[in-house]
Amino acid sequence: MRLLSLRARIFIALIFLVLVASLLIAGVTIFQYSEQSNTYHEQRLERKENQLKKRIGYLLEDAVLEVTPENCAAIFEPHMQQTADVLNINFRIYSLSGVLMSTTQLMEAAPIQVLPKALLKQLEAKPSERLIDVSSTDGIRMRSSYFYVFGPDGLPLAILNVPYFDDDSLSSLELKAFLLRLVQVYVIMLIIAIVLAFFVSSYITQSLETISAKLNQTKLAKSNTKIELTKASKEISALVDAYNHMVDELEQSAIELAKSQREAAWREMAKQVAHEIKNPLTPMRLSIQHFEQQVAKGTSEWKSQVYEFSQTLIQQIDTMTAIASAFSQFAAMPTGQSVRLNVTETLQRALELYKDAPIALEADETYYAQLDSTQLVRIVNNLMSNAIEACAEVREPHIHVRLFGDKKWVYLSVEDNGRGVSEALRDRIFEPTFTTKTSGMGLGLSMVKSIVETFSGTIQFESNPGVATRFEVRFPRID
């Protein structure tokens, strides 16, 4: 599973924070409205209770009958409806045993005729405190307040019940209006947050994208440029400094590696040169020793062997000269001037030297490339020499040379049915001094590869040993 990019994660995180903040504020607002509404109803109920207690106190002071629990209904009954109208409150009077004695006419629900014993026990346990019973019916919350009414002697006379319905219609309307305005504000804030999140995420990741692009371009074998960022954050600056330090180290490592490779190449070259020179020196030494022995014996035969001896020395000297020339050419190439060259014509002239070889040329049209004719001939000669030698032991040798192209490239392929290249040797085929022949210095294909790359071309090969081997060179095509 592919992870989101850093830019996308920053963008999503910022938007998520705005949404979470809006939801939290909306939740806190609803909770705050609920708490305020609850506090308001509690305080309003308490105020009505206090007003009712004062009214009852006045009624008890002006009572004609003796103030006893049995006379409570008779004392309060004539004044209950008036009290309810004046105070805008509903209430009920229960006896100390919990039996309903009287109620106002403004009650919206049927009153409880007998109070539960558990409620009576709670009142008896704390006679000086009020008891609040909260219930909900059809989504409407009702608070029922129960408390004792005390006589002048301080003894309980009756139980007073004040039912109160929490009317939250006004606060609900206010809450809805506030939330609507809050949503409008947060929609605007969300749009602003999206724009800001886009620019912030782009700003944060821009430097990282620059560093990433530079890292993708960083190579050991090429010159790498350092990153220069202005007004970057402390963390990005530290990352840039680390990259620039790495570039310095890579450059130093590349220099050391190139030096090591050159030294290794020259050591290998020196061993190859020494080996190739030792080969002709040995027969030369043996010939001279044999000639000395013949002279020392004083026989007349040594005079007749002078010609044979001189021919042996000349042959070995020619071999050493060829070795020196081959290494000299390898060290000096590639040379030449890049010009607009008719590749088809140059190839045809080069193949005229191999008229006796089983070569078939296929060139569908005239192609041009920016090349040097001498270097192209060297490439053709080397590929043809390898193909001819590979087919030396084949009963019916065949070499197919093909020149073709497309809009961008000119292709030259040389295919033979010789012995081919084994799988174990394919990775070393273009190495200097590597060869599978019994003679030669192994510089041919390495030289060809160097020439091809000098003219911005490529060379590759494929081989099926004993069946076919094809080398393909391509160069940039011009009109």
Q: How far apart are CA 22 and CA 12, in angstroms?
A: 15
Q: What is the pLDDT of residue 278?
A: 63
> ω before 432 within 30° of 0 (cis)?
no
Q: How many CB atoms lie within 10 A of CB 388?
A: 18
Q: What is the pLDDT of residue 114?
A: 85
- State yes or no: pLDDT of 233 exceeds 90: no
* pLDDT mean over 335-343: 79
Q: What is the pLDDT of residue 229?
A: 63
- State yes or no: pLDDT of 262 exceeds 70: no
Q: What is the mean pLDDT of the chain?
A: 77
Per-residue pLDDT tens over the stretch 275-302: 666 666 666 666 677 667 766 766 556 5
- Stated length of the chain: 479
- State yes or no: pLDDT of 474 exceeds 60: yes
Domains 67-167 and 339-478 share a fold: no
- Ranking 54-68, 170-184, 285-299, 456-470 by mean pLDDT, the lowest is 285-299
* pLDDT mean over 245-250: 73
Q: Give me the phi and psi of 476, to 5 degrees please.
A: -60, 130
Q: What is the pLDDT of residue 292?
A: 72
Answer with the residue of higher pLDDT: 414 or 438.
Answer: 414
Contact criterion met (CB below 8 Å) for 143 and 161? no
Contact criterion met (CB below 8 Å) for 91 and 113? no
> Which token pair is 138?
């059809």
Per-residue pLDDT tens over the stretch 48-63: 888 888 888 888 887 7
SS (H, E, C) the chain: CCCCCHHHHHHHHHHHHHHHHHHHHHHHHHHHHHHHHHHHHHHHHHHHHHHHHHHHHHHHHCCCCCCCHHHHHHHHHHHHHHHHHHHCCCCEEECCCCEEEEECCCCCCCCCCECCHHHHHHHHHCCCCCEEEEEEECCEEEEEEEEEEECCCCCEEEEEEEEEECCCHHHHHHHHHHHHHHHHHHHHHHHHHHHHHHHHHHHHHHHHHHHHHHHHHCCCCCCCCCCCCCCCCHHHHHHHHHHHHHHHHHHHHHHHHHHHHHHHHHHHHHHHHHHHHHHHHHHHHHHHHHHHHHHHHCCCHHHHCHHHHHHHHHHHHHHHHHHHHHHHHHHHCCCCCCEEEEHHHHHHHHHHHHCCCCEEEEECCCCEEEECHHHHHHHHHHHHHHHHHHCCCCCCCCEEEEEEECCCEEEEEEEECCCCCCHHHHHHCCCCCCCCCCCCCCCHHHHHHHHHHHCCCEEEEEEECCCEEEEEEEEEEEC
Q: What is the pLDDT of residue 130?
A: 84
* pLDDT mean over 96-108: 76
Nearest to 414 by CA among 386, 434, 393: 386
- State yes or no: pLDDT of 137 exceeds 60: yes
* pLDDT mean over 346-357: 84
- State yes or no: pLDDT of 399 exceeds 70: yes
The percent of residues in the chain predicted with pLDDT above 70, rounded, is 70
- pLDDT category, 435, cuts 50, 70, 90? low
- pLDDT category, 218, cuts 50, 70, 90? low
* pLDDT mean over 168-193: 79
Residue reference for tokens 């390495």: 446
* pLDDT mean over 190-218: 73
Q: How far apart are CA 66 and CA 48, in angstroms?
A: 27
End-to-end CA distance of the chain: 48
- State yes or no: pLDDT of 471 exceeds 80: yes
Contact criterion met (CB below 8 Å) for 116 and 141? no
Q: What is the pTM of this model?
A: 0.40
Q: 406-443: string of b/e by CB count within 10 Å (b at 16+)? A: eeebbbbbbbbbbbbbeeeeeeebbebbbbeeeebbbb
Q: Give me the phi and psi of 430, to 5 degrees please.
A: -100, 10
- pLDDT category, 117, cuts 50, 70, 90? confident
Contact criterion met (CB below 8 Å) for 134 and 149? no
Secondary-structure class of domain 67-167 per CATH: alpha beta
- State yes or no: pLDDT of 472 exceeds 90: yes
Name 57's Cβ contacts closer than 8 Å, sequence gap at least 6. Answer: none
- pLDDT category, 411, cuts 50, 70, 90? very high
Task: Break the chain into its structural domains and give their ranges.
Answer: 1-62+168-217, 67-167, 234-332, 339-478
Q: How far apart are CA 115 and CA 99, in angstroms?
A: 7
339-478 CATH pick, 3.40.50.300, 3.30.565.10, 3.20.20.70, 3.40.50.1970 = 3.30.565.10
- Ranking 112-116, 337-341, 360-364, 436-440 by mean pLDDT, the lowest is 436-440
Q: What is the pLDDT of residue 442?
A: 46
The percent of residues in the chain predicted with pLDDT above 90, rounded, is 6
